[in-house]
Amino acid sequence: MTEKVGYLGPGKVTFGYMAAEKCFQEQAVEFVPFLSHNEVCDAVTQDLTDYGVVAAENVIEGPVTETIYAIEKFHREFGLRICGEVEIPIELFLLRKINNESLPKKLASHAIGIRQCERVVRELQSKGVTVEVVESTGRAAQIASENSDYAALASVKAEEEFGLARLRPESVADNRNNFTRFWVVGMRNLQWLGSKKTCFLVNLDQKTPGVLCKTLEPFAKRRINLLIITPLPIPGRKWEYTFMLEFAGHIRDHEMNEAYEELRNSGTCVGAPLVLGSYPVTQD
């Protein structure tokens, strides 16, 4: 039976699709588009798909909080977990209908895509072009293919799929060293080879001096490498945060498991640390 993999659509032109394709390139799977990362996660828990691929972090924009909140929610309710990771380069092109060289009236893209191309966006705005935020770069390209008033910031796949033309030959992103990492989420682990990571969410008693240092100490003294620490605002609670911690290694590794148990019993966390997953990272 063919497995189904959800991703942020529409079509096969988004960076979410590219990530899903890279993750499962050697497997017979059916890719299913959704309108948000929350919907991708929900579909896995409802058994509509076997896995989902969701954006986790961009090197310029930082963590995708929508994704982290969605995984936390569905992990607590249904046991959804992070079970894989892949990264892809992000190139954005200024696209328009072929043979349409006049100035567009509107520029469409995802909010992140617009922020990552500020130079060209400001240039077009100074000439009277208005900016419109849509749900994905793929949707922006689709709009530009249907309406000659629009240009889009989108991927090379979108250019090919919708028969668009580049108004600039090269990527118009401000930073050429632009990558996004994506997580694979599911209800069971993937049997991938590669280095491993483990992701925790911890709530800390922030009135306690040195609480963050005490939280990291069980891992540091075992020489477990902390890769990322990210504060996430707790909705509805002023200036209170959940911390996302990513470490190198698997939760079943002896040292990692010891560190986790020491943290869990240390009294520094408000509630038990939440393990969102231990997962392999795909290699190029």
List the domain boundaries for the chain: 3-90+178-186, 93-166, 196-280
Residue 284 confidence (pLDDT):
56
Q: What is the pLDDT of residues 195-223, one digit of tens each?
A: 899 999 999 877 788 888 999 999 999 99
**What is the rounded distance in angstroms from the CA atom of residue 278 to the CA atom of residue 196?**
7
- 8-state DSSP, 194: S
Give the residue-averaged pLDDT of 249-260. Answer: 94
Residue 192 confidence (pLDDT):
77
Give the residue-averaged pLDDT of 103-132. Answer: 94
**Per-residue pLDDT for 225 more than 90?**
yes
**Per-residue pLDDT for 235 more than 70?**
yes
- Class of the 93-166 domain? alpha beta
Residue 283 confidence (pLDDT):
58
CATH superfamily of 3-90+178-186: Periplasmic binding protein-like II (3.40.190.10)
**Per-residue pLDDT for 37 more than 90?**
yes
Classify domain 196-280 at the CATH topology level.
Alpha-Beta Plaits (3.30.70)
Q: Cis omega before residue 209 (within 30°)?
A: no
Q: What is the pLDDT of residues 21-31, one digit of tens each?
A: 998 887 789 99
Q: Tell whether pTM > 0.85.
A: yes
CB burial of residue 137 (10 Å; 0-12, 13-18, 19+): buried
Residue at token pair 């640390």: 273
CA distances from 277 to 29, 66, 272 (A): 23, 17, 15
End-to-end Cα separation, the chain, in angstroms: 28
Are 3-90+178-186 and 93-166 in the same CATH fold?
A: yes
